[in-house]
């Protein structure tokens, strides 16, 4: 049986994706993804890893299910916010299979 806090977290996530996220404009969705992706990249860098190592094919496919326009959003982010970043490194990351070598 799930703890109450897990149920509450799942309910909040469902509410966000079903009710709040669809109401966002394209620009607001870009900002949402920029903030969340940059947070993940900063965490990777803190651990001494390449910033894009948090992303992989499974991540991309999951995101694509929730946000069918993710490719357009990513294009806008690289054009407007991430000009200094290597887009090909990101593309290589999202085309890579998830590394499960640490799992047993």
Q: CB of 45 within 8 A of CB of 51?
A: yes
| Region 2-22 average pLDDT | 92
Q: pTM (2 decimals)? A: 0.82
| Region 89-102 average pLDDT | 76
pLDDT value at position 39? 95
Q: CB of 32 within 8 A of CB of 66?
A: no
Q: Of 28, 54, 10, which is closest to residue 63 (Cα–Cα)?
A: 54
What percent of the chain lies above the pLDDT cut of 90?
66
| Region 6-35 average pLDDT | 95
Q: Give the separation between CA 16 and CA 14, rounded to whole angstroms.
A: 5
Q: Give the separation between CA 16 and CA 8, rounded to whole angstroms.
A: 12
Q: Where are the domains of the chain?
A: 26-95
| Region 23-32 average pLDDT | 97
Q: Give the separation between CA 96 and CA 94, rounded to whole angstroms.
A: 5
pLDDT band at residue 104 using 50, 70 and 90 as cut-offs: very low
């Amino acid at each position: 049986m799930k703890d109450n806090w897990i149920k509450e977290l799942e309910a909040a996530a469902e509410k966000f994706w079903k009710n709040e996220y669809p109401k966002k404009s394209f620009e607001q969705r870009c900002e949402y993804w920029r903030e969340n992706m940059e947070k993940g990249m900063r965490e990777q860098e803190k651990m001494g890893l390449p910033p894009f190592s948090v992303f992989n094919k499974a991540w991309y496919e999951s995101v694509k299910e929730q946000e069918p326009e993710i490719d357009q959003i990513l294009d806008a982010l690289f054009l407007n916010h991430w000009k200094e970043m290597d887009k090909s490194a990101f593309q290589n990351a999202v085309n890579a299979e998830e590394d499960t070598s640490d799992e047993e």
